[in-house]
Every structure is written in structure tokens, then in C-alpha cells.
Amino acid sequence: MLSVDSVSASYGNLRVLWDVSMSAEAGEIVSIIGANGAGKSTLLKSIMGLVRTQGGEIVFEGTRVNGVAPHTLVAMGIAYVPEGRRLFPEMTVRENLRMGAPRRCPEVNERLKFVQDLFPVLEERRFQLVMTLSGGEQQMVAIGRALMAKPKMLLLDEPSLGLSPIAFEKVIGAIEKINREGVAVLLAEQSSERAMEISDRTYVLENGRVAGSGLSDELLHDPMVRLAYLGVGT
């Protein structure tokens, strides 16, 4: 469904991705783990057309998408939840959700229902200002807004950021449910263990390079990965 082949990216003279290759198939949850500054967010931004890439190729459903504008990618079926959520805090839950739907979208009510069935709390709080929601609820709004575009693939950047373990668990449950509805998920996470537990495959980024990849189950039990990325001994 999505393939990234030998893609590099820089900020000015600072190169942060080096020949990164990865893929995600329909129906999969794929996690991207790595330390602070490893390049997880830059990889998602590169896919989403928010960072210009050098060399290589990004292909979504058979179409080369390097340099394609973010709104075109959304229309093609890729939705993105940025790190830090980037909501409109002084607008209501409902208004924020509507922002995620295309203009003059005839299915907007149907999509709102899908999101509110997934996150019933957002239905209860539909007229509440986003700034008054808890962190977990705000993350649900951010994911809900992305789902309003009816994506085939969802890119999630660090959904655990600022959340309590309990709130993050709710988000994890929602990610699994979204995936069961047929949406492929690319999940960049520093809370690597949970991300790996719910994903089919994992890519480990280290200093902008893919340092390892494989079935999440296998990597989770790999002593090297456990020590280096999960901070636990064997």
C-alpha cells in the first residue's frame, strides 16, 4: 500500500534521514520506534509531503507521491495526526472534527457518526471547547479529525505524548479498533513497547537510518532490541 524506498531528508544542511526504506500493507499496523531525534517525525512528515525529500521514492497505492501536496495526499487516502495534536483549542470538539472533512462533503454526518461511535465521549462533549478537554480526550479529537477524511491509512505521530498510562491505553484501544475497521496504521512512538505489542511489524530508526526491522513479536523478544530500545534487560 505504502512504500518508501531509499528516501533521505534534510533541514537546511542538516541531513536527518539517510536512505530510509520501509513499507506498510493494507490491514497492517506498522510501528516506527527510536530515541529522541532519531527521525520518526521527519519520516512521517516526508511521507505526508510536509518535508521535502532527496532521492528515492515514496509510492502510495501504485502512485509516486514524492512532492505531492498534503491535501492531495489526504484526498488519496492518507491522514496524519501530528505530534502535539495541533488542534484549534478555542473551537468546539464538533468544529475541530468538521475541519478534517473535505469541503462540501456530502458524507460529513455519516463520518461524524463513525468518529463518535468510536469515541462516545466526543459525542457527549461535542459543544465543549477543545482547550477544556483532558489530554486523552484531545488526542481522540485529533485522531477523530483525521478519520473525518475517511483514510485508508492513518499516520500517527507520538499519540502517547503527554498522556497518562490510562489515557494512552484508551488511545491504544482506539487504534486497534480503527485498524479492525480496515484502516492501515503507521505509528511513530517512543513508548515503543506498547506500540510494538499492537503492531504487526516494527522499524527501528537510529540517527536517521533504519537500524532494524521485522515482525514486532520477534523484535519484542530480541535481547538487543529490549536492551537498546525498551530499556530492559533480558
Ligand X SMILES: Nc1ncnc2c1ncn2[C@@H]1O[C@H](COP(=O)(O)OP(=O)(O)OP(=O)(O)O)[C@@H](O)[C@H]1O
Distances (CA, A) of 149 to 152, 197, 211, 215: 9, 27, 33, 29
Measured distance CA(228)–CA(34) in Å, rounded: 9
Residue whose CB is less far from ligand X, 13 or 234: 13
Distances (CA, A) of 113 to 69, 103, 119, 124: 28, 17, 10, 12
Among 29, 31, 41, 138, binds Mg ion (CB under 5 A): 41
Among 2, 22, 40, 116, binds ligand X (CB under 6 A): 40
User: Residue 232 binds what, of ligand X, Mg ion, none (CB under 5 to 8 Å, by partner type)?
Assistant: none
Residue whose CB is less far from ligand X, 42 or 96: 42
| Cα end-to-end span (Å), the chain | 35
Q: Which stretch binds Mg ion (CB under 5 A): 77-85, 99-107, 140-148, 174-182?
A: 77-85
Here's the x/- map for ligand X, 131-160, by CB under 6 A: it reads as ---------------------------x--
Q: Which stretch binds Mg ion (CB under 5 A): 76-84, 101-109, 178-186, 225-233?
A: 76-84
Pairing of strands 53-54, 2-11: antiparallel
Binding positions for ligand X, 179-218, rule CB under 6 A: 190
Residue whose CB is less far from Mg ion, 118 or 172: 172
One-letter amino acid at 224 equals M
Here's the x/- map for ligand X, 66-105, by CB under 6 A: it reads as -----------------x----------------------
One-letter amino acid at 183 equals V
**Shortest approach of ligand X to residue 208 CB, angstroms?**
7
The strand pairing partners of 11, in sequence order, are 14
Pairing of strands 63-64, 29-33: unpaired
Closest to 153 (Cα-Cα) out of 178, 128, 122, 116: 178
User: Residue 36 binds what, of Mg ion, ligand X, none (CB under 5 to 8 Å, by partner type)?
Assistant: ligand X
Grid cell, residue 177, equals 479498533
**Shortest approach of Mg ion to residue 138 CB, angstroms?**
17
Quick one: which H or E segment has residue 211? strand 209-215
Among 2, 7, 16, 155, binds ligand X (CB under 6 A): 16
Which residues bind to ligand X, rule: CB under 6 A?
Answer: 11, 14, 16, 34, 36-42, 83, 158, 190
